[in-house]
Chain A
Amino acid sequence: MRPDPILRIDTAFFWEACERGEFVAQKCGPCDILWHPPRPMCPKCHNTEKEVQQLSGLGTVVSWCVAVRPQAFGFEESPIAALIELDEGLRFVSNIEGVAEEDMQPGIRVQVAFADTSGGKKVPVFKPVSE
């Protein structure tokens, strides 16, 4: 089954939000800039007071791949991994569910959902935007 996320001091807020079904990003309040991956300090103003902002959960597929050999560790079957450009301008690696491999292409509009991990945690995955 899907491996658990790795919680680190500077990034635990993200994975803990997933537990609540929230898809979030680190935000520097004074700069009003979102950052991903999270980091201990805003690189613009050096503020260490981090806000957490809920994201729309909408994005567009930039690129995708499927590990054939070796198969993805921990999964029964390798998932479709994708780089997604979020509507807020951040990029995020996740999975695409509900699209057949042969139908994958850049530009597919997707929205966030949550998937369970082997240790009972949750991670964000993406599905096609329902018309």
Chain B
Amino acid sequence: MSKTNNQAAIVGIGQTEFSKDSGRSEQQLAAEAVIAACKDAGINPEEIDGCITYTIDNSDEVDLLRSVGCKELNYTVRLPQGGAANAATLYHAKNAVESGVCDVVVIWRAMNERSQYRFGQPTVSISPDANSSTFIEWCFPFGAQTPASWEALSCGQYLSKYGVTSEDLGNIAVLMRKHAATNPNAWFYQQPITLEEHQNSRWIVKPWLRLLDCCQESDGGVAIIVARMDKAKDLKQTPARLLSAQYSFLFNHEIISDFYEGDLTGLPFSERVTEKLIEDAGIAPKDTDVAMIYDNFTPQVLRQLEGFGYCGPGEAKDYIADGNMELDGKTPLSPNGGLIGEGYIHGMNNITEAVRQIRGIAANQVENVETAFVASGVAGAILGK
């Protein structure tokens, strides 16, 4: 673990509202989120000297400089793998500030994935000279053209092997909507669902994914400011220290169309991340106080709970059903309602919730939070006071 003063911490979080029609550009959403995070931290945007986002974010670093008035960036990074990048942004921000390359790094993700385009619908054009994207090339002519289709093919073997039913998946959706129902920041605030409503929701992709198994398509932006503890102590907020952040991108694996390597009933990269977290921070994900697990689709939660060591192979459906991840359970799952209940800003809003839980200001505040785990398949981070 780093020396305390050298250690990275999340010192500011910011966001726009989460909606279905933001009415403004993605570039504006990004800028608004960054400024909100700076204000939250008590940092002048001129101090930002590094920035991180996803390869598929439509805002450019130039846009950021122009809009928020950064003076000089000496470090810019864009991460591959779509939403799986979300916890990996913390890994890179941590390295950037702990190495001394940067003093203040901003991470952003902003999207109008409901009003401007539909993130969950078929990608209907790809150029042959685009970068390699097997999830299009080797799936598109066969009608597997959406994230939900790729997820269904990817999780099918796991779900079949362990006898997971649609009701088991529904339990996850019900839990996320229950948490969202008491979170005013959630799109589905005051809108809990029953298992019956889940079972009656229309099919998106048979035989696994109903509408209520899928995360939302949201408009909105989220930004996070990372700095070292020597700076954090002079800022406005209680810092959420990055006790460890880890990343594992394994041979022959892919993003969501991860069909081609190894046993599809497990997540070997999540297991690797868990090993590295324990080695680095001395804390296992299952021993933290809050679990923010990337919930793009309900089956992903099950496989990640096993991959990150919360329970054994095939046990995740019962681990959830037994109440372990309720707000008063052993390790509450996404008290904000997650990407299913709060909004889908590609996972970034699960990081901001982890920070709120560490600060003790969350809408659904868990008692006595000392540590929180943020996970997105190939990456994970443990935050602490």
* Residues of A participating in the B interface, judged by any CB pair closer than 8 Å: 2-8, 11, 36-37, 43, 62-70, 72-75, 78-79, 81-83, 90-95, 101, 104, 106, 117, 123, 125
B251, A43: Cβ atoms under 8 Å?
yes
With contact pairs A4-B141, A8-B128, A123-B141 given, residues A70 and B153 touching in the complex (Cβ less than 8 Å) = no
Interface presence of B202 (CB below 8 A): yes
Q: A62-B157, A63-B157, A65-B152 are in contact. Are A6 and B142 (CB under 8 A)?
A: no
Other than the known A2-B141, A93-B257, what 14 A-B pairs have Cβ atoms closer than 8 Å?
A: A6-B140, A8-B129, A64-B156, A65-B144, A66-B207, A68-B206, A69-B202, A69-B203, A81-B139, A81-B153, A82-B153, A83-B157, A91-B259, A117-B141
The CA of A15 and the CA of B288, in the complex, are separated in Å by 49
The 6 listed contacts between A and B (C-beta, < 8 Å) are: A7-B128, A79-B142, A81-B144, A91-B259, A91-B260, A123-B141
Q: A82 CA to B204 CA in the complex, in Å?
A: 16
User: B-side interface residues toward A, CB under 8 Å?
Assistant: 121-122, 124, 126, 128-129, 132, 134, 136-146, 148-149, 152-157, 160, 202-208, 211, 251-252, 257, 259-260, 264
Contact A106 B156 (CB under 8 A): yes
Contacting residue for A93 out of B122, B142, B206, CB 8 A: B142
A110 to B246 CA separation, bound complex (whole angstroms): 41
Chain A residues lying within 8 Å of B260, measured Cβ to Cβ, are: 36-37, 90-91
Instruction: Name the residue on B nearest A90 (C-beta).
Output: B260
* Nearest CB on A from B206, distance (A): 5
CB pair A70–B156 under 8 Å, yes or no, is no
Interface of A is mostly: loop
A104 to B141, CA, bound (A): 20
Whether B208 and A81, one on each chain, are in contact in the complex, defined by CB atoms closer than 8 angstroms, is no
Q: Is the CB of A83 within 8 A of B141?
A: no
Contact assessment for A81 and B156 in the assembled complex, using a CB-CB cutoff below 8 Å: no
Chain A residues with CB under 8 A of B251? 43
> Is the Cβ of B143 less than 8 Å from the Cβ of A67?
yes
Query: Nearest Cβ in chain A — how far from B248, in angstroms?
Result: 18
**A95 touching B143, Cβ below 8 Å:** yes
Complex CA gap A41/B133 in Å reads: 17
> Can you list the 5 inter-chain pairs with the closest CB atoms, starting with the nearest?
A63-B156, A72-B143, A65-B152, A73-B122, A81-B144
Whether A65 touches B156, Cβ cut-off 8 Å, given contacts A7-B128, A73-B145, is yes
The answer to whether residues A93 and B152 also contact, given A6-B126, A83-B259 and a CB cut-off of 8 A, is no
Knowing A6-B137, A11-B137, A93-B259 are in contact, say whether A62-B202 is a contact too (CB < 8 A). no
Expressed in whole angstroms, the Cα–Cα distance for A69 and B122 within the complex equals 10
